[in-house]
Amino acid sequence: MGLQLSTLVRSKGVLPILIAVSIYGWVRRKEAAKKKRAYKKKKEAQELADTKAGKKIKKKKKRRKDGMSYLFKKLWPFGKSSKQLRVDPSASAGRIELVAIMAMSVLRTWHVNRMVYVKRDLMLSTYRRNLDMFKRVMYETVLMSAVASGIYATHKYLKERLSLIWREKLTKQLHQKYFTSMNYYRLSHLNRNEISDVEERMVKDPRRFCKSLAEEMEKASAAMTSGIWFTYKLTTISSFPFAVAPLIYFYCSWNMALSFAPDWSKKWRKMLDLRSKYFGTQSRLQTHAEAVCAYQGNDVERSIIDESWYKFTDFCKEYVRDATVFEFVSAAFFTYGSHSMALGLIVGKFLPNSNPVKASYLKSMSDQSGTIVEIERRGAQASALLFSEIRFTTEYFIRAMSSQGVIVRKNCICIVVQC
């Protein structure tokens, strides 16, 4: 399959075909946009005629805004206009940290790529009993370990610093929105009881959200740099379908898992809401304890607290059950399934005798000329070349698979949050 694809790409007629397909797609998009504009104008004219005739117009339900995208745009430091920077000078905070994180991700990709060759050379030197090569590999391993420590420490520092900057920026923006045109004694009555613990959320949620977002940005930068590089390397040593096989598997597995796993995001939000309501009843009792005692409202308050507690614990049982199903489905598709897929593809690559490395191995093993020592040495070198090539392919495949899995995971999280 990889040979057929590379032959197709090298053929002279593929460029006109790609140009023709691109022009056809552009024309179809233009026609679709034209039809959409015509339909919108027709609908507006119909609504105007209905308004003049006195008919009631059913208002279309507005789509709920995506809170995750809104917060991300608020925190993202790039693409800010001069007007936005004048209004909020801290809008560009975090640019240096993001650029440094991307640079460290590139450096980490180089380090991981170099370690693949170090592991291959270590196996070759062990099989061949080459002492000079083994010493060189050990020296390089020590050097790479020191570099890895520096990369890890710098990455962690940049991630924590970015989290702190985004937390300060988000907290400042929340306070500015929250305390605008507000009476002092009505802090908890401005959101129509949609969020029962606003003050607690404003203190805790920015810290959790910014820390998680900084971690996701660090993982995304590493996944993009490593994913692009190791997918390219897999394409050079094998084929493009072999390189993107993990990405296709993870995407298909995610779509299949949606039909089995429960809606995790809604369950999580509901559990947090029930928890905040229970804490709200406790704080309300502490605030009005004297009034409750004066009016003999002990039984009423106890019933309110018990009711909120039982609702919270009952839903926790349901949540734990759904969490078990979610973990089982995730492990089945993304852990054991991905391992089986990787094993099948890597081993399947070396099963046919047409593989160049395996053909060389079989040729060396079938050659029985020479003394017994020469035959054993030739067999050991052939085995070393075969296993080092398997290890080399496995290392690249594992790193490409982990990076592509992170990319699919980011898209899944964004889609789940939007839903």
pLDDT in tens, 23-50: 665 666 677 777 777 777 777 777 776 6
**Does residue 143 belong to any structural domain of this protein?**
yes
Task: Write the DSSP symbol of residue 60.
Answer: P
pLDDT, mean over the chain? 76
> Which one-letter amino acid corresponds to residue 90?
S
- What tokens were used for 324? 């078990």
**DSSP 8-state symbol, 285:** H
Cα-flanking dihedrals φ and ψ of residue 268, to 5°? Answer: -65, -45
What integer pLDDT is reported at residue 185 of this predicted model? 45
396 lies in a domain? no
Average pLDDT for residues 354-366, to the nearest whole number?
Answer: 77
pLDDT in tens, 276-309: 888 888 887 888 888 878 777 788 888 888 888 8
- Per the rule left: phi > 0, alpha: psi between -120 and 50, beta: everything else, 182 is beta
Q: In this structure, are residues 91 and 80 in contact, taking their beta carbons and an 8 Å threshold?
A: yes
* Closest alpha carbon to 114 in 274, 30, 233, 196: 233
Identify the pLDDT of residue 244: 82
What pLDDT, in 10s, does the model give residues 173-183? 777 777 665 55
Report the predicted TM-score, pTM, of the whole model to 2 decimal places.
0.63
Confidence of residue 95 (pLDDT cuts 50, 70, 90): confident
Domain count, the chain: 1
Nearest to 227 by CA among 405, 392, 2, 391: 405
pLDDT cut 70: percent of the chain above it: 78
Q: What is the pLDDT of residue 407?
A: 60
Of 221, 249, 223, the residue nearest 407 (C-alpha): 223
Nearest to 173 by CA among 162, 183, 184, 165: 165
Within a domain: 114: yes
Domain-located, residue 371: no
Binning pLDDT at 50, 70 and 90, where does residue 187 land?
very low
Q: What is the DSSP letter of 371?
A: -
Comparison of pLDDT for 378 and 221, the residue scoring more: 221
- pLDDT given at position 267: 82
**Domain presence at residue 55:** no
Expressed as residue numbers, the domain containing 97 is: 66-237
Please give the pLDDT value at position 4: 44
pLDDT of residue 143: 92
Nearest to 265 by CA among 410, 418, 408, 407: 418
Residue 186 lies inside a defined structural domain of this protein: yes
Decide if 178 is inside a domain: yes
Which of 271, 266, 284, 115 has the alpha carbon at shortest distance from 188? 284
Sign of CA dihedral 286, 287, 290, 294: negative
Q: Of residues 312 and 197, which shows the higher confidence score?
A: 312
**Does 298 fall in a domain?**
no
